Amino acid sequence: MHLLHAICRRLLDQKLAVASLLFAFITAIVSLRFLIIPNLQRLNLRVGASFYDYGFYGLYPSRRYVTFDYESPAVNFVQWDSQCSDAYTFIAPHGGVVEYSAPMILDSRGNLVWMKPLFDTPEDFRVQEYLGEKYLTYWHGGYSSGHGQGSWSLLDSSYSHRFEVKPVGNLDGDLHDFQITENGTALVTIYDVKPHDLTESGGAKHGYIYDSIFQEIDIATGSLNFEWRCSQHIPLNASYAGLKGRGWKREDPYDAYHINSIDKDPSGNYLISARHLHAILSIDGKTGEILWILGGKQNEFEDASEGRATNFAWQHDARWRSDDTITLLDNTAEWFFDPPTESRGLAIVIDIPNRVARVQGEYFHPGSIRTTSQGNMQDLPGSRNVFVGWGHCAAYTEFSPDGRVLCDAHFGPSTWFTLGNVVSYRSTKSSWVGKPNTNPAAVLIRSSVFVSWNGATEVVAWRIEQWDGVDMDDMHFEPLKVVKKEGFETKIDLPQGVAHVYFRIVALNGQNEILGMTGVMGEQLDWNFRDFVRSYSVGVFSSGVVISFVMIGCCLLQGVFWTWRVHRSRPLSRPGGYRAVPLGSVPE
């Protein structure tokens, strides 16, 4: 008691200690108030979510493969219905926790079909038709403050790179839209830094803005058909984006418009979405004149749905559904701390001559997602189902035409959606036939073989074929066994003995035709040390590890031997003590 008292007195005497305690306390309160609590609030914690959605399997649950070097998302279907389209899903996940950013194709149950990891960021991955042929299209490039600097790639059905499209002039291609028209042209978005007087918005006189531009480019010739600049047609005060101290430097321009989609109607006029204007604009395809504006501060339409047809905000992906109907993804908010709202897929019928807008359909996520950036809405051909990609939130949902949720898939845990660790700018569904010009990949492990073929959509079964053992220079193979293809990678258990002679695996389509085959495989039965070391070592490093283990083993053996020898040579009794004598002999 006395000792404790003494210690306390000494501590209290030291003013430094008191000051540090106080400082630690204040730091704890401040970080709780401004760091920990706000971030906990951002989590979408729900009672009764699955382990997946709480994040117990990680922030980006992934699948690994034996035959493929990369990981793909383990997609979690929260809801599934057989009425969902069996077309493929196209996403391009990336983000802080995604190791391999890649455009990727998944089947209707979320299994990987194809992926191509990129060094730069992929966006807007989907199937488009160019001059009657289907292509995979995606943007790739560098990313800065909500838009991109890059170009657009087109891959054909063999996944060969066929076209790279860049804007005309000394401009970078932006990630937001690359829409191919029926005439073989591409509609593309571009962000260009431009000097602008910002005094009316409360900014610099000699300031800078991001001008939002779109171009129509002929893909084959690279020539420019049309170009349109927001700054020449729309005043800055139509924007909802606050200046927030921007626009003083060239490196930090004011993004007043934020164009993010372009569509073209059969009469040749353009439809653009400008996120920061909360508006959809129709633009004359010849003169560039604005024909009408739906939504935002310059809205021209009367709202026949009590405000719900024109109150969309921070939206994406405005497309013509028919002559008089537009679909879009209404984000409703710009960032997490905006008042609570719910994002929706939205279909709006517009009467252009009379300037009247009416809601045709609304599509909400079953978990009331609010995605503060990115996202898209797609009418699925055939079924008339509606497909929504939730952009900033790693989820996609398929709805029946009347707005009922049929399928809902997550490719990241929903509790963490608002943090945007895993995003896919768009998610779409399309039919696709992929015939890669590679060979299937196979790996033999003991008596099982794993086989996959990145991007091959037509394979339904794998056939094991064994060498007939006659001529090694002109090998003939006999069919042994046919196994149904399962997901991305199929594990096949080989019949007894097959692993030790030559065999190969042949890919078969639905008509039993051969699409491709692996190289000849098989492992010798005779065991030898060199092969053993080789099979467990790759390169110098692993060989070093094996050698180290052998040396450690030798040292251990040596140690054991030494101990045994020392022990054996030690006299069993100390001099002057008791002495063991042979039984029967009596010491003198």
Ligand X SMILES: *[C@@H]1O[C@H](CO)[C@@H](O)[C@H](O)[C@H]1NC(C)=O
Using CB under 6 A, list all residues that contact ligand X. Answer: 181-183, 235, 237-238, 264, 266, 268, 297
**Shortest approach of ligand X to residue 330 CB, angstroms?**
21
565 CB-near residues (< 8 Å, 6+ apart): none
Residue 379, SS3 per DSSP: strand
Cβ nearer to ligand X, comparing 324 with 478 = 324
Cβ nearer to ligand X, comparing 106 with 293 = 293
CA–CA gap between residue 33 and residue 341 (Å, rounded): 24
**Shortest approach of ligand X to residue 216 CB, angstroms?**
7
Cβ nearer to ligand X, comparing 268 with 553 = 268
241 CB-near residues (< 8 Å, 6+ apart): 254, 255, 256, 258, 276, 334
Cβ nearer to ligand X, comparing 264 with 316 = 264
Q: Which two tokens stand for residue 387?
A: 């497909």
Distance, CA of 341 to chain centre: 25
Cβ nearer to ligand X, comparing 325 with 543 = 325
**Shortest approach of ligand X to residue 238 CB, angstroms?**
6
**Shortest approach of ligand X to residue 346 CB, angstroms?**
23
CA–CA gap between residue 584 and residue 579 (Å, rounded): 14
Cβ nearer to ligand X, comparing 237 with 368 = 237
**Shortest approach of ligand X to residue 375 CB, angstroms?**
24
CA–CA gap between residue 341 and residue 344 (Å, rounded): 10
Task: Determine whether 325 is exposed, middle or buried from the number of CB atoms within 10 Å of its CB (0-12, 13-18, 19+).
Answer: middle
Task: Determine whether 370 is exposed, middle or buried from the number of CB atoms within 10 Å of its CB (0-12, 13-18, 19+).
Answer: buried
**Shortest approach of ligand X to residue 383 CB, angstroms?**
25
CA–CA gap between residue 7 and residue 444 (Å, rounded): 69
Is the Cβ–Cβ distance between 90 and 55 less than 8 Å? Answer: no
442 CB-near residues (< 8 Å, 6+ apart): 67, 449, 450, 451, 452, 505, 518, 521
Cβ nearer to ligand X, comparing 144 with 183 = 183
**Shortest approach of ligand X to residue 280 CB, angstroms?**
17
Which has the closest alpha carbon to 253: 199, 192, 167? 192
Cβ nearer to ligand X, comparing 285 with 487 = 285
Cβ nearer to ligand X, comparing 266 with 539 = 266
Q: What is the 3-state secondary structure (H, E, C) of 529-554?
A: HHHHHHHHCCHHHHHHHHHHHHHHHH
Cβ nearer to ligand X, comparing 84 with 283 = 283
DSSP string covering 243-309, please? -TT-SSSTTS-B-SS-EEEEEE-TTS-EEEEEGGGTEEEEE-TTT--EEEEESSTT---EETTTTTT
**Shortest approach of ligand X to residue 244 CB, angstroms?**
18
Is the Cβ–Cβ distance between 116 and 127 less than 8 Å? Answer: no
**Shortest approach of ligand X to residue 236 CB, angstroms?**
8
Is the Cβ–Cβ distance between 464 and 494 less than 8 Å? Answer: yes
**Shortest approach of ligand X to residue 127 CB, angstroms?**
18
Cβ nearer to ligand X, comparing 96 with 235 = 235
**Shortest approach of ligand X to residue 235 CB, angstroms?**
5
**Shortest approach of ligand X to residue 187 CB, angstroms?**
9
Q: Which two tokens stand for residue 462?
A: 């794998």
**Shortest approach of ligand X to residue 303 CB, angstroms?**
18
Cβ nearer to ligand X, comparing 182 with 531 = 182
Distance, CA of 323 to chain centre: 34
Is the Cβ–Cβ distance between 146 and 373 less than 8 Å? Answer: yes
| Angle of helix 15-31 versus helix 2-13 axis, rounded to 10 | 80
Cβ nearer to ligand X, comparing 238 with 492 = 238
